[in-house]
């Protein structure tokens, strides 16, 4: 924290410190390591899926939970292998400043999450200190996805390629071996979520994935039982948003619960 000698106390003093820190981080972002390596480490060394915990205040159609980013890190920093941070402002109340803060203070890889459709947002992700960027196949199509993947790599960014089916996930794992590949439980056309469909698609994709591929299960994870089911289906990482910010103490216990259950 930047010291503010002689500044105001109370809330205004804290606000001044946070504003100065934000200015410093946007000027000199700090990156928290590689996302792929963090996921692989949890799988290899702890024999459990990695936890990518998401700082998420809003979602389309409503508010999720109010939580300061420093409180999020205090409660969940020890449980996370990596973080996901919403940078999208209209539906998810996100910003690049939040990416920069959690990347620097959290000290772990950060996934920049937005509807990335061009190089401008890729450059914003890199300048905020993100380790990786979300690329959504169903939005971009294969050709545009390939172009943005290469551009991201040129900026030093990894990618999480999001798909909605096991067939597309397996194809993406074969076509982009350096990326993580996710399957989303949420239908982005209707915004409907189905955990049962996610579980089945993860199981199918895990049975066909290349040897070094890393598969991420996204959305609809709101209990230890669901997390464990996806782990047993073959997910290498779990991206958890709403559950993390609404029940942070419960999610903080998840790594140990997964280790114990999967070690039986």
pLDDT tens for 42-91 read 999 999 999 999 999 998 888 999 999 999 999 999 999 999 999 999 99
DSSP, collapsed to helix, strand or coil, labels residue 156 as coil
Predicted pLDDT of residue 26: 78
- Residue 56's closest CA among 218, 173, 229, 260? 218
pTM for this prediction: 0.93
Average pLDDT, the chain: 93
DSSP letters, 230-253, are: HHHHT-SEEEE-HHHHHSHHHHHT
Q: Where are the beta strands (DSSP E) in 45-91?
A: 50-55, 58-59, 62-63, 82-86
Q: Convert the pLDDT of each residue in 178-225 to its tens digit.
A: 999 999 988 777 778 899 999 999 999 999 999 999 999 998 999 999
Percent of the chain past pLDDT 70, that is, above it, reads: 97
pLDDT at res. 120: 97
pLDDT at residue 145 above 90?
Answer: yes
Query: Ramachandran region of residue 240, left (φ > 0), alpha (ψ -120 to 50) or beta?
Result: beta
């Amino acid at each position: 924290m930047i010291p503010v000698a002689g500044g105001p106390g109370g809330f205004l003093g804290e606000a001044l410190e946070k504003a100065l820190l934000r200015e410093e981080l946007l000027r000199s972002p700090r990156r928290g390591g590689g996302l792929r390596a963090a996921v692989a480490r949890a799988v290899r060394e702890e024999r459990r899926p990695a936890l990518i915990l998401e700082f998420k205040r809003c979602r389309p159609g409503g508010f999720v939970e109010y939580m300061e980013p420093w409180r999020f890190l205090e409660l969940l920093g020890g449980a996370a292998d990596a973080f996901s941070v919403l940078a999208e402002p209209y539906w998810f109340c996100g910003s690049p400043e939040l990416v920069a803060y959690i990347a620097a203070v959290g000290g772990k890889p950060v996934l920049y999450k937005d509807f990335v459709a061009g190089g401008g947002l890729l450059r914003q992700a890199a300048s905020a200190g993100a380790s990786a960027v979300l690329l959504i196949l169903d939005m971009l199509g294969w050709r545009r996805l390939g172009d943005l993947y290469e551009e991201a790599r040129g900026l030093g960014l990894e990618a999480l390629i999001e798909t909605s089916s096991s067939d597309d996930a397996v194809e993406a794992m074969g076509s982009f071996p350096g990326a993580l590949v996710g399957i989303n439980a949420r239908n982005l056309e209707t915004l409907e979520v189905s955990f049962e469909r996610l579980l089945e698609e993860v199981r199918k994709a895990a049975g066909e994935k290349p040897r070094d591929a890393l598969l991420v299960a996204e959305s609809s994870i709101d209990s230890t039982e669901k997390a464990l089911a996806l782990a047993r289906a073959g997910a290498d990482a779990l991206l958890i948003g709403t559950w993390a910010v609404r029940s942070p103490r419960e999610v903080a216990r998840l790594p140990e619960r997964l280790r114990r259950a999967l070690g039986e």
